[in-house]
Amino acid sequence: MAKMIPNEALIYERVEKKIYARYRDRPEIPRWIIGGEETGILGYDDWKQMLLLTERNATFKKEFDKIVNLYYLLKDSE
């Protein structure tokens, strides 16, 4: 992801199943996709459903815990 411009306000827009962001005061910078079903990015509802599934499925919980641990190991390394 590109570096964000500090202290610049963002506007978020939903168009069908895609979510875009754009700078409020920088119309020369085109909007970019930040989420939605077609981007492959998980949304908040997806995470809620996965957490509920960890309560009902031991195999899923084991694998989910692995990916969460990996995330915490790698998130500050970049």
- Is residue 24 located within the same domain as residue 48? no
Candidate from 38-42, 53-57, 67-71 with smallest mean pLDDT:
38-42
Q: What are the tens digits of pLDDT across the range 6-18? A: 999 999 998 888 8
Report DSSP letters for 17-70, one per residue: TEEEEEETT-TTSPPEEEEEGGGT---HHHHHHHHHHHHH-HHHHHHHHHHHHH
Q: What are the tens digits of pLDDT across the range 41-64? A: 677 888 899 999 999 999 999 999
| pLDDT for 2 | 60
pTM score, whole prediction = 0.47
Instruction: Work out how many domains the chain is built from and give that number.
Output: 2
- Is residue 46 located within the same domain as residue 15? no
- Is residue 29 located within the same domain as residue 46? no
Enclosing domain of residue 63: 42-78
| pLDDT for 8 | 94
- Is residue 1 located within the same domain as residue 37? yes
- Is residue 37 located within the same domain as residue 51? no
- Is residue 32 located within the same domain as residue 47? no
| pLDDT for 39 | 55
